[in-house]
Amino acid sequence: MKHTILVTTFLTAATLAMGCTSKEVKAAVAPRQVEPAAAHLDRAKAETKQAAQAMRDYAYAEKTEFVDKMKKELVSTQEELDRLSAKVESAGGAVKTDAKAKLETVREKWTQAKKQLDRAETATASDWDDVKNGFKQSYADLKDSSDKTRQWLSDKIAP
């Protein structure tokens, strides 16, 4: 059950994160066309499949691949936090103060995930599963917090 919740959370976070790329910048410049429901569903299925592949159960022999992939994910998340921080600077008053506090919480979760990934990088075969699962949980917490903060910011700060 816990594994199912973790996978579902990660898939949701990955799907949301994949939708928050530089396409948003282009969308702000050019008017966005409404995507047909069937095309949206197909795209969502493809993104879910990619996210499921990203969360596959890496064996100890694939430790380097896992660590490299997750380092890239952490860099991507860090870039997103930097982008959100820049957006917060344009806000004023209490919203800015609250937003900075929320972003600081996400940054703390990022630091925890980074520490877990560093542990995974030096893990031995005997502790690999525990370390890997610890990172996955930490990363899921990070993505959940990041998604909630991004949503809160989008509700409070106009694009």
What is this structure's pTM? 0.61
Q: In this structure, what is the dihedral angle of CA atoms 106, 107, 109, 112, given to the nearest 10 degrees? A: 180
pLDDT score recorded for residue 5: 55
Supply the range of the domain harboring residue 36.
2-156
- Sign of the alpha-carbon torsion through 83, 85, 86, 90: positive
Two tokens at 154?
């989008």
Any idea what DSSP says for residue 36? Answer: P
pLDDT score recorded for residue 134: 92
pLDDT score recorded for residue 115: 94
Mean pLDDT by 10 residues, the chain (159 residues): 51 52 44 46 59 63 89 93 87 83 94 93 90 92 92 79
Two tokens at 84?
């959100």
Q: How many domains does the chain have?
A: 1
Two tokens at 22?
């530089």
Two tokens at 128?
């690999």
Q: How far apart are CA 138 and CA 109, in angstroms?
A: 7
